[in-house]
Structure 1
Amino acid sequence: MTSYKLNNKNLSKFSDEALIPQYDRSTLKTGIVHVGIGGFHRSHEAYYTDQLLHDPANSDWGICGIALLDFDTKIYNTLKEQDGLYTLIVKELDGTLTKKIIGSIVEYLYAPENPTQVIEKMASNDVKIITLTITEGGYNYNEATGSFDFTNPLVQQDLEHPQAPKTIFGYLTQALKLRKERGLPGCTIQSCDNIQGNGHMTEKMLLSFVHMAEPDLVPWIKSNISFPNAMVDRITPATSEKDIALLKETSGIEDAWPVVCEPFKQWVIEDDFISGRPAWENVGAQFVEDVVPYEKMKLSLLNAGHSVLGILGALIGYETIDESVQNKAIQTFLHSYMDEEVSPTLGDLEGVDLKKYKQSLLQRFGNIYIKDQIDRICSESSAKIPIFILPTVNAQLENDGPVDHAAFVIAAWAIYSAGLDEQGNPLNIKDALETLLKEKALVAKNSPTSFLEIESVFGKLNQSKRFVDIYTAAYQNILKYGVEECITQMNNKALNNI
């Protein structure tokens, strides 16, 4: 099959092989700035927006993608060379591929190259919404203190050199300052990250920074900027070279960075947009008054479930999430964790069939065509575990409920953080706290509780004797018997107690 590079010029050549934008991209106005143009944004918000742009009434909602960090060079260059176009490959449960070329990203900027240009774009009167996928760690939140981490060297740099920021908070502060000085209206800042109360978190962290950097700006932000909470969901594994080659071979599309994802998608948003918004509800998003119950369910079940499968599977030696969930012992362990420890903390979920939702998660995790890499799921666990797993632990401790499964996972993470699986093979650990985690993990071999002393991750959890005792026993058992044998025994014990 003849292949062509993906760009505006060649777009029509792909109409027989993929769905292509049926709107004139040259007429679109940028109404959304998005920071963090990785795979998830491109499978989720950019996809929803692309669907909406087929209605000419929505032509004011094109997206400007911002590559914020130095290592975002590749995605910036890819989008620049492809005129912002990319292919979304949906891997259906039966193995078929649905291919769609997405056209909603109409501008793309590389912040390290020209910070002033990015600040000006965020301050533009046409821009009504600034959305974020900056990962859980990007919010600079200290779990122990519950506050903004001003010890971060990049934050200190932003305070000293405000016109050349390195963090999202530095950029937002300067852009909002320009809006105020120019008498422009405010905008909405919307997080699309996996954090409960992500809008509240964004507001709290931004205002903390602004209090220090530009204190006179605080009242204006409180009056002119809205921060809706949102729950986002679509499993989007890292794109592999195999995905790129297969797309070229089967469709003739030369796309340097397509996005692969599962068919399921969900976006639940609080309707709090101060300067207008796209009608995303027309393409499947759900606007609600209170997103918290949906967020809590998703973070505590799907995201925590991913971490459980990733950490346990990594120690056994698996490489992908579907391998982990196909292990019956791990699957039973996860099911018990969701039923016995998570579900009692969720409260009333109106309109949600919780049993059906949990079953659907196991099906989604087990999609053998997704091949979600375990090292991707385990990356930045020091930011994920306080958000996905510890709220369940704290709620259960407060209610004198069971924490055995969660304690086991954290013990497994302590062993994982030493850097080797059970066969002695090196693990690919990617974490902002990698050095500290490894240091504590090595000490834990003689003193298991030392790992729980990482206060920025665990807070005061090491002061719970009940949790510490369960965790310590789990740690010692994993070292002695291995993950699979331990969880098999836990599963058998649970069955015997029925």
Structure 2
Amino acid sequence: MKTPIQLQQENLVDLGSRMPVPNYNRTANKTGIIHIGVGGFHRAHQAYFLHQLRQLGEASDWNICGIGLREADSKLHNVFRKQDHLYTLMVKHADGKITPEVIGSIVDFEMGTTNPESVIARMANTDTRIVSLTITEGGYNFNPTTGDFNFDNPDIQYELQNPQDPRTVYGFLTAALKRRRDAGLPAFTILICDNIEHNGDMARKMLLTFAEAQDLVLAKWIAKEVCFPNSMVDRITPVTTKADIETLARTYGLKDGWPVTCEPYIQWVVEDKFSNGRPDFEKVGVQFVPDVGPYEKMKLRLLNAGHSVLGLLGVIHGHSTINACIEDETFATYLRAFLDVEATTILGDIKGINLEDYKDSLLERFGNPNVKDSVGRICMESSAKLPKFLIATIHENLEIGGSIKFATLVIAAWCYCCDKGIDRHGHAIEIVDAMSTELYQAAKETQTDSLAFIRQESIFGNLAKNERFTDLYTEMVQKVYNDTNIKKHMVEMI
């Protein structure tokens, strides 16, 4: 057993005999990217791509400074300070092999909650050329059904009156862009790396709506100068566990307070539209295209929706991980039926993609026994995810007369989870969702009003008014409530 070495810059030479470490100078170059929302996904994806580029001797002016805008980000901030902003990426392969690597592309981290002025100045600095975001679907402050900006948010109302004391991503972006404009500096690119269809277009619409309410002249400058490239991102990144930290220390002799685990697969497709330059990411496999739309839709409606299908059905059955669902033949067959019959039919042809091969790869990835992605993580924030991943597919299939039965059972299962909060064995199901109160209140009325749950128009749109859907949903929600043997209902439909 190797004596664990603390992950720090000064220990990289010693660690280099145990695993790959950064071979580049992390302190002498510029910070070209500011990233808001430094979670596991960013560290397994965008930061990893930049690390690969730095390892090639490229992109010396594109180091990353992370930004935390939530109090919860202070935990990572403290870990990063202790570790010189280094972290370990643990790639978990299906055969049980783990390949760790120390990543060095993040060189600084600041908290907007404690020092907003410093964050604004950092974003307004001439070195900053890209501001990227992974703040989850719910962080963009818009109604998922109407697409309208939510001005009722108290933090938004505060920012409109106090532009120099921002609280949300929109307040920070507008404050920084105003300083750049006033200083005669070029605008930075705003690059969204979240699972939202047309994510760059959406972010542009939201920021301009906010900016117009705060400073109309500035909004016009942003509209003219700032690029918002659409992008599609993909890499399964489970929550780091205590066991992961212990494995790293015991097997590889490295003490890391917050490593990241991920699958081997990685993909990034980006619209090549930037305000002020970009790293040569194509040298490490990033695909730049004129239109990301078809790739975005494919990933959201197949991978992300597929995850939710397994998660919401699996949590009722009692499966704890996504790979356990795939190892269950009923779940694997049901998922493939959903992908083939309901999701693929609305995608059309996608250049360079064989959809059958892509779906095959999804089942292989979901079944990776070494990743063990929890169904609980997949079910988190379903109110923000399902309108884009699954409910949109129901709407489109209703328009063309396509099948909706597989997706509808998932909605019925979601309602049951929100209402009862237990699986078929009586074990508690934790509902982690920004709309948990609304979901529970609507779901608990289901036994007297079978359509109560789907009357939430901010989530379901007008589905409660579609007779074909409501007839099927009523039948399915009654089945789930009367018999929680979800596999029985799944088998009936396959």
TM-score, with normalisation over the residues of structure 2? 0.98
Matches within 5 A, 1:184-333: 184-333=185-334
Q: 1:485 aligns with which of 481, 485, 488?
A: 488
Distance 1:337 1:296 in 2: 15
Q: 1:432 aligns with which of 431, 434, 446?
A: 434
1:317 shift after superposition:
1.5
Matches within 5 A, 1:293-442: 293-418=294-419, 419-442=421-444
Distance 2:337 2:40 in 1: 31
Partner of 1:495: none
1:432 shift after superposition:
0.4
Matches within 5 A, 1:15-34: 15-34=16-35
1:480 shift after superposition:
2.0
* Per-residue Cα deviation, 1:363-421 (whole angstroms, up to 9, x for no partner): 10010110111111111100000110122111111101111111111111111112222
Contact 1:31 1:61 in 2 (8 A): yes
Contact 2:317 2:487 in 1 (8 A): yes
TM-score, with normalisation over the residues of structure 1? 0.97
Contact 2:301 2:393 in 1 (8 A): yes
Distance 1:226 1:471 in 2: 42
The SS at the match of 2:492 is helix
Distance 2:455 2:8 in 1: 51
Contact 1:236 1:260 in 2 (8 A): yes
Greater Cα offset, 467-476 or 157-166: 157-166
* Per-residue Cα deviation, 1:63-112 (whole angstroms, up to 9, x for no partner): 00111111111111111111110000000111101111000001110111
Distance 2:269 2:283 in 1: 13
Distance 2:323 2:335 in 1: 13
Matched, 1:449 2:485: no
Greater Cα offset, 36-45 or 144-153: 144-153
Greater Cα offset, 265-274 or 476-485: 476-485
Partner of 1:151: 152
* Per-residue Cα deviation, 1:325-372 (whole angstroms, up to 9, x for no partner): 211111111111100001110011121111110011001001011011
The percentage of counterpart residues that share the same residue type is 47
* Per-residue Cα deviation, 1:4-24 (whole angstroms, up to 9, x for no partner): 210111111111211100111
The SS at the match of 2:236 is coil
1:160 shift after superposition:
2.9
The SS at the match of 1:25 is coil
Partner of 2:475: 473
Contact 2:145 2:387 in 1 (8 A): no
The SS at the match of 2:288 is strand
The SS at the match of 2:195 is coil
Distance 1:303 1:80 in 2: 33
1:320 shift after superposition:
1.1
Contact 1:34 1:65 in 2 (8 A): yes
Distance 1:244 1:78 in 2: 13
Contact 1:144 1:460 in 2 (8 A): no
Matched, 1:460 2:462: yes
Counterpart AA for 1:476: Q
1:443 shift after superposition:
0.8
Distance 2:58 2:317 in 1: 53
Contact 1:317 1:423 in 2 (8 A): yes
Matched, 1:79 2:63: no
Matched, 1:99 2:100: yes
Distance 2:312 2:212 in 1: 38
1:445 shift after superposition:
2.5
Counterpart AA for 2:493: M
How many pairs align? 491
Distance 1:270 1:123 in 2: 24
Contact 1:36 1:66 in 2 (8 A): yes
Contact 2:35 2:132 in 1 (8 A): yes
Counterpart AA for 1:374: V
Distance 1:143 1:262 in 2: 29
Contact 2:187 2:275 in 1 (8 A): yes
Distance 2:45 2:145 in 1: 32
Greater Cα offset, 292-301 or 159-168: 159-168
Counterpart AA for 1:154: D
1:436 shift after superposition:
0.5
1:30 shift after superposition:
0.2
1:57 shift after superposition:
4.0
Matched, 1:59 2:21: no
Distance 2:339 2:418 in 1: 24
1:212 shift after superposition:
1.0
Q: Which runs of 5+ in 1 are unaligned?
A: 492-498
Contact 2:50 2:105 in 1 (8 A): yes
The SS at the match of 2:174 is helix
Q: Which runs of 5+ in 2 are unaligned?
A: none
Distance 1:109 1:217 in 2: 26
The SS at the match of 1:56 is coil
Partner of 1:494: none
Contact 2:145 2:458 in 1 (8 A): yes
Contact 1:143 1:455 in 2 (8 A): no
Partner of 1:131: 132
Contact 1:268 1:291 in 2 (8 A): yes
The SS at the match of 2:23 is coil
